[in-house]
Amino acid sequence: MDYFYFMEFIFRHKKKLLIIAGFLAVIFICFTFSNKNKDYIQNFSNNKLPTQYTNYNILAKQAVELKYDIFLENPIEKELTTDIVLINNTKDYPSHMGISKIILLREDGYFLELPGYGEGFEWWQVGDLNGNEDLDVAVMYQNMGSGSFKPFYFYEWNGENFEVKLHNSNLFNRVELIDVDDDGMSEIAHTFRLFQFAWPWKEIYEWQYDKMRGTYGYVKASNLFPASYEEWLKDKELNSNGSFETAPEFWETQDGKIVLDINKCLKQKAILNSQGIFADVDNCYLGY
């Protein structure tokens, strides 16, 4: 009998119940989106930095369209115009270059500061830098101290904010985005020194699945010096002649020049390459 009374109650009051259900759904959506934006703060007006950054100046700025995930399950995307802004403060810090950082300014009035900072600003790139259709931000700050500890950050958009995928800050730090193997995706060439007068080390990071973290990211492919080049160069198409070269064998270029042992040649070039520019294997000719 209780079941029939219950069904009769629902039938008589179905309109009111539908209104209540709709109201609760709206509350749930608002709460979910608010919870997804828990790290964002609403406190700025258009064309002005938030009050927390009164003493900051804008060094660089780029407007992008970002898709924000509202639900964790059955995602619904909301696209918002977002300014990616690199700012600098020389008033509150003793360094003559000041402290620099990146913040996001959304069109709905919310903002978020990305993790990481540095002194001054050397370069940045914004776009799909690794070819996976997600927006990336790569930034190289200037010196942090007398040893040229230049912080580098690589961020990728995850539907809520920008996640740090790679960060380094080493002695005489230098980072370049280079498509080393011509596959259309940028590798990260990282050059540094263990101490001031040491030979430079170069590391190459490739975008691939990181088994340790269980997600995609930049994973170190090899140490190019003083470690061996053989792993990186094995079965790579190096001179655009349509065939693979296998280090450390000899091979012939399109113009007939015989190439030295690639492994040895590139090590020699790495020793001379204190500026961190990637060694060109096509210059590894016999007698070069």
Please write the tens of the pLDDT for every residue from 10-52.
Answer: 556 666 656 666 666 555 555 444 444 556 665 555 557 888 8
The yes-or-no verdict on residue 56 having pLDDT over 60 is yes
Token pair listed for 77: 């995307």
Q: Looking at the domain assignment, is residue 126 inside a domain?
A: no
Three-state DSSP at 125 gives strand
pTM to 2 decimal places? 0.63
Does residue 57 have a pLDDT over 50? Answer: yes
Rank 150-154, 204-208, 234-238, 258-262 by mean pLDDT and report only the highest.
Answer: 150-154
Residue 79 has pLDDT above 90, yes or no: no
* Per-chain mean pLDDT for the chain: 70
> How large is the average pLDDT for residues 86-99?
86
Two tokens, residue 7: 């069904």
The count of structural domains within the chain is 1
What is the per-residue pLDDT across 209-251, written as a single tens digit (0 to 9) for each? 677 667 777 777 755 443 333 444 444 444 455 544 443 334 4
pLDDT in tens, 180-220: 767 777 888 888 777 776 666 777 888 886 776 677 777 77
276, part of any domain:
no
**Residue 3 forms part of a structural domain:** yes
- pLDDT tier, 60 (very low <50, low <70, confident <90, very high otherwise): very high
| Cα distance between residue 33 and residue 72, in whole Å | 10
User: What does the pLDDT look like over 265-283, one tens digit per residue?
Assistant: 555 555 544 444 444 544 4
Which structural domain range is residue 21 located in? 1-36
Examine the pLDDT at 85 and tell me if it is beyond 90.
yes
Place of tokens 């009035």: 109
Structural domain contains residue 209:
no
Report d(CA 227, CA 178) in Å as an integer: 20
Compute CA distances 193 → 218, 254, 271, whole Å: 21, 36, 12
Q: Based on the number of CB atoms within 10 Å of its own CB, is 42 exposed (0-12), middle (13-18) or buried (19 or more)?
A: exposed
Residue 219, domain member (yes or no) = no
Asked if residue 10 is part of any domain, the answer here is yes
**Whether the predicted pLDDT of 260 surpasses 90:** no
Q: Is the dihedral of CA 144, 112, 65, 33 positive or negative?
A: positive
Instruction: Flag whether pLDDT at 66 surpasses 50.
Output: yes
Q: At what angle do helices 14-36 and 2-12 cross, to 10 degrees?
A: 80
